[in-house]
Amino acid sequence: EGLPARFARHRAMREQVEQWVARHGRCGILAPPGRRADTVTALTLRPERQASELAAELAAAGWTVATGIAEDTERLIRIGHMGDVQPEQLAALLKALEPRL
């Protein structure tokens, strides 16, 4: 694939998550535009939704997401979109995630 193509894929997947969040509006993105990473996105959850519970539900369905850290443990989930992850895999994760928000 080569590094330039890999980095472009990571950026495209960040944009994929941004567009998905904008379409449904059931969660937010922690980092403001212009400060977002191409490798991971931290999604902010509604106050009544616990990140550890959501991560466990996704794990039972075969997906891995991380919760937040420190004081954000239960209000964030982190989705990686780097390395060998492909846009189709990310789309499938987002499809599994949306009804659980």
The pLDDT tens digits for 54-100 are: 999 999 999 999 999 999 999 999 999 999 999 999 999 999 999 99
Strand, coil or helix: 42:
strand
Place of tokens 């989705």: 79
pTM of this prediction exceeds 0.85: yes
Q: Per-residue pLDDT tens for 22-52?
A: 999 899 999 999 999 999 999 999 999 999 9
Query: E strands of the chain, at which residues?
Result: 28-29, 40-44, 66-67, 76-80
Give the pLDDT confidence score for residue 25 in this predicted structure: 87
Per the CB < 8 A criterion, the answer to whether 45 and 77 are in contact is yes
